[in-house]
């Protein structure tokens, strides 16, 4: 047991973030024979939580969900940070690293329509809410006639807005519904990742710690899920090679089949009119290199101007 008090876990305050922090705590308790009293979950409000009236692309990108938490980690106010992996920028603040990943949940997206409607059942020009440019672009590729509007907020908020009739449908990560135990209560259309690929990191929980903090790294090492680490290593290398941002609709779907690693990468224009996909596979030991290979092939096929005019740096907001 630590000598300096409870283990301090930093997290956002949404229901989903708290569910993820609770999962982390439960796994650490089981791995080390600890009790809840040995932990302190600290809720840290981020800029991404405070700004709800504008798309993330207008205010700095996904790093807005991690900056304040990372600041607390650097300052020593918390011992480790727990994030949705898809929210973590490809370049981290100096002195920090992702030291472990929990077992990945379902990577698929789910479309939730009013009255249980499916995408194919929507009326011409139906209004759909989503804050994700990837989901918007993929949806427009399936149904160019649909009107998509920015739809911010946590999972319960978006479901409430849908119920109130503000939109005819929305898209969510199935992993979030499962972690909130809502997957059995929401009538949704689960989308095939082959035709509606997820965001890099979707469904995974990342643990961030200070480099050189051997005590905390030893604490999280037993709960690290190596297969998830392999997939996230490839997906983050892919994203870094593309230098993507929240203004760049980018998808990645990776799978492990025995000793083989399969990777599918897709990039789209925001309106969904142009899309490029690259599929690669090879030994698991080469997973990260395969992610880079897919990104380089996509850049070569799409051309140097593909992201011009609407891309911004993803590495830091």
Point out the residues that are catalytic.
87
Both tokens of residue 154? 């946590």
Strand partners, 15: none
Tally of CA atoms within 13 A in the half-sphere of 277 that contains its CB: 14
Query: 241: helix, coil or strand?
Result: helix
Distance CA(196)–CA(287), nearest Å, equals: 22
Residue 170 near residue 149, CB atoms below 8 Å: no
Strands (E), 205-294: 205-210, 250-257, 260-268, 275-283
Of 316, 253, 275, 15, the C-alpha closest to 136 is 275
| Phi, psi angle pair for 167, to nearest 5° | -140, 170
Of 73, 7, 264, 38, the C-alpha closest to 83 is 73
Instruction: Report helix angle 155-163 to 15-32, nearest 10.
Output: 140
Those residues with Cβ within 8 angstroms of residue 120's Cβ, 6 or more apart along the chain or in another chain: none
Query: 221: helix, coil or strand?
Result: helix
Instruction: Report helix angle 287-302 to 226-242, nearest 10.
Output: 30
In angstroms, the Cα distances linking 68 to 10, 29, 33, 58, 310 are 10, 26, 30, 19, 26
């Amino acid at each position: 047991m630590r000598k300096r008090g409870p283990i301090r876990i930093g997290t956002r305050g949404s229901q989903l973030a708290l569910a993820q922090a609770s999962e982390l705590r439960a796994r650490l308790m089981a791995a080390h024979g600890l009790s809840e009293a040995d932990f302190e979950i600290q809720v840290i409000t981020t800029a991404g939580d405070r700004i709800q009236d504008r798309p993330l692309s207008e205010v700095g990108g996904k790093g807005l969900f991690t900056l304040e938490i990372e600041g607390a980690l650097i300052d020593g106010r918390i011992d480790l940070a727990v994030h949705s992996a898809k929210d973590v920028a490809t370049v981290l603040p100096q002195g920090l690293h992702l030291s472990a990943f929990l077992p990945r949940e379902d990577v698929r997206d789910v479309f939730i329509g009013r009255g249980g409607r499916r995408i194919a059942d929507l009326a011409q020009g139906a209004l759909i809410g989503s804050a994700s440019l990837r989901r918007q672009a993929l949806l427009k590729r399936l149904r160019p006639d649909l009107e998509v509007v920015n739809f911010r907020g946590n999972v319960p908020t978006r479901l409430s807005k849908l119920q109130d009739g503000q939109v005819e449908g929305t898209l969510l990560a199935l992993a979030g519904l499962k972690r909130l135990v809502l997957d059995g209560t929401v009538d949704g259309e689960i989308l095939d990742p082959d035709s509606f690929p997820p965001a890099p990191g979707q469904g995974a929980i990342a643990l961030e710690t200070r480099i050189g903090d051997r005590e905390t790294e030893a604490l999280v090492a037993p709960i690290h899920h190596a297969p998830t680490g392999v997939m996230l290593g490839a997906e983050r290398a892919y994203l870094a090679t593309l230098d993507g941002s929240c203004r760049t609709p980018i998808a990645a779907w990776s799978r492990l089949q025995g000793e083989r690693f399969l990777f599918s990468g897709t990039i789209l224009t925001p309106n969904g009119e142009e899309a490029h996909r690259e599929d690669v596979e090879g030994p698991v030991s080469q997973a990260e290199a395969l992610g880079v290979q897919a990104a380089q092939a996509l850049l070569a096929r799409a051309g140097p101007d593909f992201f011009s005019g609407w891309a911004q740096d993803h590495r830091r907001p």
